[in-house]
Structure 1
Amino acid sequence: MFQHILIATDGSPLSESAVDQAMTLAREAGAKVTVVTVTEPFHVMATDSKQLSETRETYDRHMKAEAGRHLASAEHKAKAQGVQCHVIQVEDEHPYKAIIDTAKKAGCDLIAMASHGRRGVSALVIGSVTNKVLTHSSIPVLVYR
């Protein structure tokens, strides 16, 4: 069956449910998991260099802390299920590419993720991250709803 599952999470309730279900699948298949959360880079919206510096530092600190909470939760779930787990936080302008690239680099044979996360109106206009992963991945993708 599957040997190494990449689980993508953004920390949303739907995504957390997908993590739970994918951990159960991994345990039942005897697979290890890599859990990834992708953060988008800081975008400049001001011209004052001091404001930009402080804003970027605050943004980076917040995003790392938020990603750390999501990944710690996934590690805890893996440990509770007896699943070997590696976690990684990636910063990328295009989350779907980061998910696919991480799965390839880790040698994963399945990507598991929720049907949609926290992308709001932009998901309707640009398309969901999950849809892009489904469209561009050569690795099988399991979508949880």
Structure 2
Amino acid sequence: MFKRALVPIDGSTLSTKASRAAIKLAAEVGARLVAFHAVPTFRTFSYEVPMLADTARSYRAACVVRARKLLGDVAAEARRAEVTCDEVHVYSDQPYLAILREAKRKRCDLILMASHGRKGLRSLLLGSETQKVLTHGDVPVLVYR
């Protein structure tokens, strides 16, 4: 069965439910978890370099606080279920690639992630990170609804 599962967390209600399902599955099969959070890199335009540097620092600091909170919540819940859980957050403008890279780096044999169905024009333009992981990856993916 599965030995190590990566669960991407984005703070949404559905990703929280998916993380709980991942913890339950890991507990049942004796697997480890990798809780993962990808943050878009900071980009802005400004004619004042000091303002830009300060804004970038503030952005990164806020992202670290949020990532630690999101991942810490999953890790705490995993500990209560006696599941070993690593916490990883990265900066990436392409979360699906970051998810696939981390799954490979951590030797995960499953990615359990939420289905984030976008609707209308937004889905045509952006697509779903889950769909991209399914399309571009070679690690089995369990999609949670």
Change (3 A) 1:93 1:82: same
1:11 maps to a residue whose letter is G
Pairs within 5 Å for 1:1-145: 1-116=1-116, 122-145=122-145
- Percent of counterpart pairs with the same letter? 39
Tell me the CA shift for residue 43 of structure 1.
Answer: 0.6
User: CA separation in 2, counterparts of 1:123 and 1:42?
Assistant: 23
Tell me the CA shift for residue 5 of structure 1.
Answer: 0.5
Tell me the CA shift for residue 98 of structure 1.
Answer: 0.3
1:61 maps to a residue whose letter is A
Q: Is the 8 A contact 1:15 1:117 kept in 2?
A: no
Post-superposition CA distance 1:1-22 (Å, at most 9, x none): 1011111111111100000011
Aligned length: 143
User: CA separation in 2, counterparts of 1:108 and 1:131?
Assistant: 18
What residue ranges of structure 1 are gaps of 5+ in the alignment? none
Q: TM-score, normalised by structure 2?
A: 0.94
2:52 maps to a residue whose letter is L
Change (3 A) 1:65 1:139: same
Tell me the CA shift for residue 47 of structure 1.
Answer: 2.0
Q: TM-score, normalised by structure 1?
A: 0.94
User: CA separation in 2, counterparts of 1:73 and 1:82?
Assistant: 14
Post-superposition CA distance 1:20-44 (Å, at most 9, x none): 0110000001101111100010012
User: CA separation in 2, counterparts of 1:58 and 1:117?
Assistant: 31
Change (3 A) 1:14 1:124: farther
Stretches (4+) displaced over 2 A:
121-124
User: CA separation in 1, counterparts of 2:52 and 2:42?
Assistant: 10
Post-superposition CA distance 1:93-137 (Å, at most 9, x none): 21000000000000000001100189xx75552201111011111
1:65 maps to a residue whose letter is V
1:47 maps to a residue whose letter is Y
Q: CA RMSD in A?
A: 1.5
